[in-house]
Amino acid sequence: MAPRAKRQPRIEPTFGEDSSSLLDLRLGPQDRTSAPASKSGSKSKAGKAGGRKKPSAKKRAKTQSGKTRASAGNRRGGRSGAKRRSRKRRTRLKVPAAVGRIFKRGVYWSAVAGIWGVIAVVCVIGYYAAYLPPTSEWQVPARPPNVKIVAINGDLLANRGDTGGEAVRLEQLPPYLPNAVIAIEDRRFRSHFGIDPIGLMRAAYTNVTSGRVSQGGSTLTQQLAKNLFLQPDRTIKRKIQELVLAFWLEAEYSKDEILEMYLNRVYLGSGAYGVDAAARRYFGKSARLLTVAEAATIAGLLKAPSRYSPARNPDLAEDRAQLVLSAMHEEGYINSGEAKNAIAAPAKAIRRYTTASENYVADYVMDVLPHFVGLIEGDIIVDTTIDPAMQQAAEGALRSALSENRQKLGVSQGAIVTLDTAGAIKALVGGADYAKSQFNRAAYAKRQPGSAFKPFVYLAALENGMTPQTVRQDQPISIKGWSPQNYTKEHYGPVTLTRSLSMSLNTVAARLAQEVGTGTVANTAKRLGITSDMNRNPSMALGTSEVTPLEIASAYVPFSNGGYGVLPHVIRRIKTVDGKTLYSRSGDGRGRVVQRRNVGDMNLMMSETLLSGTGRKARLDSGRPAGGKTGTSQDFRDAWFIGYTGNLTTAVWFGNDNNSPTKKATGGSLPAATWKAVMDAAHQGLPVADLPGVPNVPVNVSAPRKPQSQQQTNVSSGRNPIPPGSIGGGGGSNESTGERRGPLNLLRNIFGGG
């Protein structure tokens, strides 16, 4: 067998230099329990003697027990010191640590509450947003169309529609107008995302500290969202929907687009929507032409349009404008010099916008507009036949007459309408003050014309074979129990038709109507342009059937144009803002309605009314040939003068809206004088035109008898409509005017007009 391998000696592990990187687990001297000096010395000597003596088991146990007690003592001493040091540290850190714990807990629970708050807000927003239409259907509604109404020369008369003004581009406005709105309403408009958290917190703090809702935190975008899509109710639902829509607007449109939409749609009081409507309403100009002070005044209206209206509360409006100017200066939109100048020269609102007679024209245009274009889908421009100079003259004459005679004659209202020979309305004044009453008396007020209706009676007589020289008896007459009487209660015996018309003799007019028939008279009036229903009774000859100033003026036009009926009109052309023509007037009127010979005879008779009859106060200063007729209804309730030249026809009415009697105002007094003022101004610069058909040769007529005062022998019937024509009894002038008036002067001399 093989020899057994020799056992190698056991190698003990050592910790040398190669083991420096390992953890040294051996106890060092500092880790051992200290021994007494003697023992240490003996051990040391023993060691020196050449080796360590192995202790006995009993001694080892005793030694181990001592070590254990010493180790335990050291541990107790160490723990006691650590406790004392820890207690001191806890004492020093007790208060800060408590605060820290509270702070940490506060942060934690705040975060938790914030998360749940966000979740709750999202849920609430989602709930109310669900009531909105799908986002695919969201779109900004079109701005309500504006109707720009202009005069024949292009001057603006008025804007009509839901907005009251034009839509203007942002670049067309002076920069200080949008800047004024931003400065006072939403200073962070250019930087926020639809809502302004800073503004909301500021408004909330102010409202809480003041104890009332004095400020709002809505941005311009939120206000636009509300104006475009929502009802103005104050509910959480509406407010949340407003926020959602504001975010959508900010995402879909630029800041300039949002601002432009806002400026064109915001309500600024007095029916004005948008800055252009407000500029015209308060300052009579386009928003493109506003000054710094005017822009600040308009921006100040946004807080409370009625309260800060410069037309109603100029002092409050000025204070508010100064606040806006201060905000503009703080934001750097204007310098100190511009601010001082604007404060030194505050904006002044005009009153004419609300009182101007052009508003009657604009309302009338809007009434007839649907007949020409139907549904209006976009902004349009309506060219009218109105002459601004004639309109102003008519308005001024009416107001002056009422101001001077309101108390004296007991009249409170009036109306004036002027037409040219084609029936185009050149001026239309529907009342004394549009701001006080918007009812258009010129177009819609039906009143008894009185003796102003008589020309249709006399025309019917001429068409039935009579002439201006035909003689009829001016004496008492009774027709089916009705007995008309003259204004003076006097009778003149045999008179020509010319004389009886110029003196407005009621008995002769009633006799003529009886001869030709009331039906014939009614048909004649309708043929010339009277559209209202007429009572075909004997009193119709004296104008007891009601008419409007516009229709009776149009019925007089054939006398001025040679016998052609007209359709009164105010619209010439309608076009879109980009120039597309939607309507252009063409065609004629009613055609010939009076034979030329009869036109001449009527003009001869009606000219005498101004020369020697009841309309002497209407004679024109220029000596221009003119004809016309006075009218006074029963109990002096209505006073008229309707007259014409070869260029224009004008009807004037005065009375009271409640149909109460005036203080004996007659057609030959206030209306005739007012007609003269209107026509003198209207004919400035117009060539002189003769009245059509006036003969150039003398005419033989019979002179009337001297008037004989007579008592009325016949008692009127119960109805007794006796609308007397005002008569003056002579007084015509013999002075030559230099115009072609030979036959008219002859008639005047025969009648003894001096």
Helical ranges in 653-723 per DSSP H = 670-682
Instruction: Give the rounded distance of the alpha carbon of 421 from its chain centre.
Output: 35
Q: Which helix (H) or strand (E) holds 434?
A: none
- Would residue 451 show up in a list of annotated catalytic residues for this protein? yes
What single-letter DSSP state applies at residue 474?
E
Amino acid, single-letter form, for residue 605: M
- Angle (CA) 214-217-218 rounded to 5° is 120
Strands (E), 96-215: 146-150, 156-161
SS3 375: coil
- Dihedral through CA 206, CA 212, CA 214, CA 217, nearest 10? 60
511: its two tokens: 């006799």
Amino acid, single-letter form, for residue 13: P
Distance CA 66, CA 190 (A): 86
Helical ranges in 595-719 per DSSP H = 596-611, 670-682
Q: Which of 270, 309, 357, 451 is catalytic?
A: 451
Q: Which of 166, 185, 318, 551 is catalytic?
A: 185
Non-local (6+) Cβ contacts of 626 within 8 A are 607, 610, 618, 619, 620, 643, 644, 645, 679, 691
- Angle (CA) 204-209-213 rounded to 5° is 55
CA-based nearest residue to 552, from 657, 631, 645? 631
CA-based nearest residue to 433, from 498, 537, 357, 546? 357
Give whole-number Cα distances, 164 to 268, 376, 386, 562, in Å.
Answer: 11, 15, 20, 42
Interhelix angle for 596-611 vs 549-561, to 10°?
110
Largest CA distance in the chain: 194
739: its two tokens: 């115009």
Give whole-number Cα distances, 50 to 37, 43, 47, 468, in Å.
Answer: 20, 11, 6, 179
Distance CA 592, CA 378 (A): 39
Interhelix angle for 220-229 vs 236-252, to 10°?
110
Non-local (6+) Cβ contacts of 58 within 8 A are none
- CA 658, 662, 666, 672 dihedral sign is negative
Distance CA 405, CA 384 (A): 32
Non-local (6+) Cβ contacts of 739 within 8 A are 623, 624, 625, 688, 690
Q: Count H helices, E strands: the chain?
A: 24, 16
Distance CA 433, CA 363 (A): 14
- CA 241, 244, 249, 250 dihedral sign is positive
Q: How are beta strands 581-584 and 493-496 bridged, if at all?
A: unpaired
Give whole-number Cα distances, 601 to 418, 496, 596, 750, in Å.
Answer: 23, 13, 9, 17
SS3 650: strand
User: What residues are paired with 642 via a beta bridge?
Assistant: 629, 651
User: What residues are paired with 354 via a beta bridge?
Assistant: none
Distance CA 413, CA 670 (A): 12
> Rounded to a whole number, what is the distance in angstroms from the first to the last CA of the chain?
188
SS3 571: strand
What number of other Cβ atoms are within 10 A of residue 6's Cβ? 6
Active-site positions? 185, 451
